[in-house]
Copies of this chain bind each other. A is one copy, B any other.
Amino acid sequence: MIIDKVLVKKIIQPRPLDSHKGTFGRVLLIGGNYPYGGAIIMAASACVNSGAGLVTVATHKDNITALHSRLPESMAFDMAEKDRLTEQIAAADVILIGPGLAEDDLARQTFDLLWQSITAQQILVIDGSALNLLAKRKSAGWPSEQIILTPHQKEWERLSGLAISKQTEEATQTALAAFPKGTVLVAKSHQTKLYQNSKVGKICVGGPYQATGGMGDTLAGMIAGFVAQFHLDRFDVTAAAVFLHSYIAEQLSKQAYVVLPTRISTEIARVMKEMSD
């Protein structure tokens, strides 16, 4: 199937009048470990601008000031604080782990703590270096049943065992069967595709102006923001976020040779409004 505006408009409906922050979900974002602090800042900006109700960031303690300088709308704490992290995991509707997480000891411990604490109905988006950590421990069972994976081709190779040159639609579908039923796979490439069970979706917007650092972090934050607030089919909601991300980039590219990830975030609310009318 082609993912297009028709689908997006089905997802982005006018908000209910009788609503409050909680209606639009509590999101916990985990990442921004040294030296990748910027990644989680971009993910959190995208998430807040997408309309998530409450956004909390677990990050390297040295990254909190930069995050708050750009985004006072999100809360932020030191991801090395295990008690607080455990508490915040419990309080979240959606958890995104990975943007700028790195793969050092702190990253591994954080990943492990999440793996032990998360429960079946919490939505888990796994991105960036968390996909590599996952690749190393894939055997260990899945605590959540609501998984969204957002690998680029190399990360998908590590995760699935499929070499990049062998990542055909069929092979990817077969490999995905090893993951929990219902897992949504966003297979990022210059022609991003979405997979879930037997479904495959294709994005026909976007282009090479998006090939710049941080683009994936922004996408991951949008996906988290979308699944937090739109309580509809998880494949469709993810697809709407992926579409919109590239759609905004395409619009901006009319006046920009390269589109910066942070520029996309500034347009999300405007384009969502357009889609909801």
User: Using a CB–CB distance below 8 Å, which chain A residues touch chain B?
Assistant: 12, 15-21, 23-24, 34-39, 41-42, 45, 48-56, 62-78, 84, 152, 189-190, 207-209, 211-215, 253-262, 268-270, 272-273, 276
Residues of B within 8 A of A74 (CB): 38, 213
* B272, A53: Cβ atoms closer than 8 Å: no
User: Which of B64, B261, B269 sits near A257, CB closer than 8 Å?
Assistant: B269
Binding site secondary structure of chain A: mixed
The residue in A42, A63, A69 that gathers the most chain B C-beta atoms within 10 A of its C-beta is A69
Closest to A52 in B: B212
Closest to A78 in B: B35
Residues of B within 8 A of A270 (CB): 255-257
Minimum distance in angstroms from A60 CB to a CB of chain B: 10
Determine how many copies of this chain the complex contains: 4
* A73, B273: Cβ atoms closer than 8 Å: no
Residues of B within 8 A of A214 (CB): 72-73
Closest to A63 in B: B68
* A258, B262: Cβ atoms closer than 8 Å: no
Residues of B within 8 A of A209 (CB): 15
5 smallest CB-CB distances across A and B, nearest first, come from A38-B72, A257-B272, A15-B208, A51-B258, A66-B68
Knowing A15-B209, A74-B213, say if A49 contacts B258 (CB, 8 Å).
yes
